Structure 1
Amino acid sequence: MYGEVQGTGFDRIDCRFDACLTGHGRVERLWSGARWLEGPVWFAAGRYLLISDIPNNRLLRWDDTDDSMSVFRTPSNYCNGNTIDQQGRLITCEHLTRRVTRTEHDGSLRVLADEFNGKRLNSPNDVVVKSDGSVWFTDPTYGILSDYEGRRAPAEQSGCHVYRIDPETSDIKQVTHDFMQPNGLAFDADETALFISDTGASHAENGPKHIRKFSLCEKGQTLGESTVFAECSAGLFDGFRFDTAGRLWSSAADGVHCYDADGTLIGKILIPEMVANLCFGGAARNRLFIAGTTSLYAAYLNVNGA
């Protein structure tokens, strides 16, 4: 993990990117040995990171205290996206069971969503929890397209949508209607907008490969108008996160792309394999954990995760 990792580096596209870097920081490879890493989530109280290895049907645990990687859960039901709620509980998207679950403090699992309008979900992909406790998740078809990341199965829903789970009633509401393959999602720091990536280009020629920005309506419970925030210039956007200054850090085919709040691509963190997702962690949330295809990378930055 020490020294310069071949194929990594920082690509300054705009001078605004300089403020994001420590000056002498480097990209570290923390661990290797996965088939397709996804869904990293940081647990500050335990100083560990959970991350999905989807094809290997396991959820891994990287320990910041000794740099060790272990298996947290197997089988994991080919889990993908993960997040943490205000009570410190793990929220997980599972491809195989086509559901969203919550791991309680005693280790038991509670199903938050597995159907909509009496029909099974496609394969929940990524998930975020808003400050009001509501759970928002994307539901593309990647987990039912083959047996590699789930199980091949017919879709029961009319399309691929984004849903909101009410924190009081547990009711599930569809909040989008025009996505091809909704994927990563995140609220900006002040929760005035929800950003969602569409990776429809993965299976459709000239399909979308962008991130859309949605305004929030009805006290933050529904989505309003949207604009395209950014188009991906290298592969597809998958998972992404915000820092406290409003910059968006997104996965891409060549690493991590950093966008200023106005949508300008200001720099990249180059990774020698495709990146699927990322998250901020560490005591000051100034360490960016990066899910490469087979390996977990990290870089200390001069920013703090939102």
Structure 2
Amino acid sequence: MPATPSCFECLDERFRRLFIPTARLDTLFTGCRWAEGPAYFPAARSLVWSDIPNDRMLRLDACNGIVSVFRSPAGHSNGNTVDRSGRLVTCEHGGRRVSRTEFDGSVTTLVDRHDGKRLNSPNDVVVKSDHSIWFTDPTYGIDSDYEGHLAASEQAGNHVYRLDPAGGLRLVADDFVQPNGLAFSPDESLLYIVDTGRSHRPDGPAHIRKFTVSDGGTLRGGGIFADCQAGFFDGLRVDTSGRIWTSAGDGVHCYDPDGTLIGKILVPEVVANVCFGGQKRNYLYICGTTSLYGVRLPVNGAATF
């Protein structure tokens, strides 16, 4: 597979032990319009991701490098994750819902309404160890027909939700402009959530906020953890030491838990999302606009399955 020259930019000495200088950025696939939502299935040794404008989901066989169409049409799917039982959970712009792909291949709607009104366009999703599903609901999928279907919002705003394992839906954050990627800390005591509101207004936010998660499933705090200096943050993941690996306009940015930007993985396209995969969760898959990239790291992603 093609590989680029060294792609690491060290901004802090703490980053030097987080990459191997001889490692290279692999180009695994190209031909998407907007690659998003990578989710790794350890049992199948495969990665599924979304190509939103092309209304399809793609699958990479990590054993042989072959890419095939996983689902098309795909409801203009965006964010994906794997639940604690090994099933695919998907945010769909087209269906304005969060869905689950069952073991037999059928697709179940988990939630598509709040207070009787249709959701905007669920964007990104994570599953907590208690099986609750947390997702963001901005308007990107209803703003035009490019990533979904042009429609008016039925909600009072763009919010973050928690879906209880028993099925109840709770609004957990209502002060975002455009909530986007989200990820728990390794011990699940913290939840990081991206706001990409600058996409809709010049003075809007382009940052990550940090919340404390209560035992009852509510959020406290929400101060700014980091501001993006290169485009927008979007999707993000956390490693076993609590460092944040987040997409940005020039690649993947790595933040220490104290909020310091310590290094970057430079990618030749705008990055939308990332995901740790492989048997040891030490291969970082990167969705970069038209392409899927990957790089092997000497760190391990926090377990999410």
2:206 pairs with one of 198, 206, 209: 209
Match of 1:111 in 2: 109
CA 83–19 in structure 1, closer or farther in 2 if over 3 Å, else same: same
Match of 1:40 in 2: 38
CA displacement at 1:192 relative to structure 2? 0.4
CA displacement at 1:3 relative to structure 2? 3.8
Would you say 1:274 and 2:264 are equivalent positions? no
CA displacement at 1:11 relative to structure 2? 0.5
Letter in 2 for 1:55: P
Match of 1:55 in 2: 53
Task: Structure 1: state its 5+ residue gaps.
Answer: none
Task: Structure 2: state its 5+ residue gaps.
Answer: none
Report the 3-state secondary structure (helix = DSSP H, G, I; strand = E; otherwise coil) of the residue aligned with 1:46: coil
Match of 2:293 in 1: 297
Would you say 1:197 and 2:216 are equivalent positions? no
Once the two structures are superposed, residues 227-248 of structure 1 have per-residue CA deviations (whole angstroms, 9 ceiling, x without a partner) of 1110001001000000001110
Letter in 2 for 1:163: Y
Would you say 1:187 and 2:169 are equivalent positions? no
Match of 2:257 in 1: 261
Match of 1:67 in 2: 65
Letter in 1 for 2:66: S
Whether the aligned pair in 1 keeps the contact of 2:3 and 2:27 (CA below 8 Å) is no
CA displacement at 1:93 relative to structure 2? 0.4
CA 3–226 in structure 1, closer or farther in 2 if over 3 Å, else same: closer
Once the two structures are superposed, residues 101-134 of structure 1 have per-residue CA deviations (whole angstroms, 9 ceiling, x without a partner) of 0111111111111000010000000000000000
Report the 3-state secondary structure (helix = DSSP H, G, I; strand = E; otherwise coil) of the residue aligned with 1:233: coil
CA distance in 1, matches of 2:219, 2:255: 22
CA distance in 1, matches of 2:241, 2:70: 33
CA distance in 1, matches of 2:216, 2:85: 21
Q: CA RMSD in A?
A: 0.9
Match of 2:173 in 1: 176
Report the 3-state secondary structure (helix = DSSP H, G, I; strand = E; otherwise coil) of the residue aligned with 2:141: helix
CA displacement at 1:163 relative to structure 2? 0.5
Whether the aligned pair in 1 keeps the contact of 2:7 and 2:25 (CA below 8 Å) is yes
With normalisation by structure 2, the TM-score equals 0.98
Would you say 1:246 and 2:242 are equivalent positions? yes
Match of 2:144 in 1: 146
Report the 3-state secondary structure (helix = DSSP H, G, I; strand = E; otherwise coil) of the residue aligned with 2:198: helix
After TM superposition, which residue ranges in structure 1, 4 or more long, deviate above 3 angstroms?
Answer: none
CA distance in 2, matches of 1:84, 1:200: 27
Match of 2:2 in 1: 2
Match of 2:225 in 1: 229
CA distance in 1, matches of 2:92, 2:165: 20
Report the 3-state secondary structure (helix = DSSP H, G, I; strand = E; otherwise coil) of the residue aligned with 1:17: helix
CA distance in 2, matches of 1:4, 1:46: 28
CA displacement at 1:207 relative to structure 2? 0.2
Match of 2:165 in 1: 167
CA displacement at 1:38 relative to structure 2? 0.2
CA distance in 2, matches of 1:65, 1:20: 25
Sequence identity percentage: 59
CA 151–12 in structure 1, closer or farther in 2 if over 3 Å, else same: same
CA distance in 1, matches of 2:100, 2:29: 27
CA distance in 1, matches of 2:162, 2:242: 23
Report the 3-state secondary structure (helix = DSSP H, G, I; strand = E; otherwise coil) of the residue aligned with 2:17: helix
CA displacement at 1:226 relative to structure 2? 1.6
Match of 2:23 in 1: 25
CA displacement at 1:202 relative to structure 2? 0.5
CA displacement at 1:2 relative to structure 2? 3.4
CA distance in 2, matches of 1:88, 1:204: 39
CA distance in 2, matches of 1:2, 1:39: 23
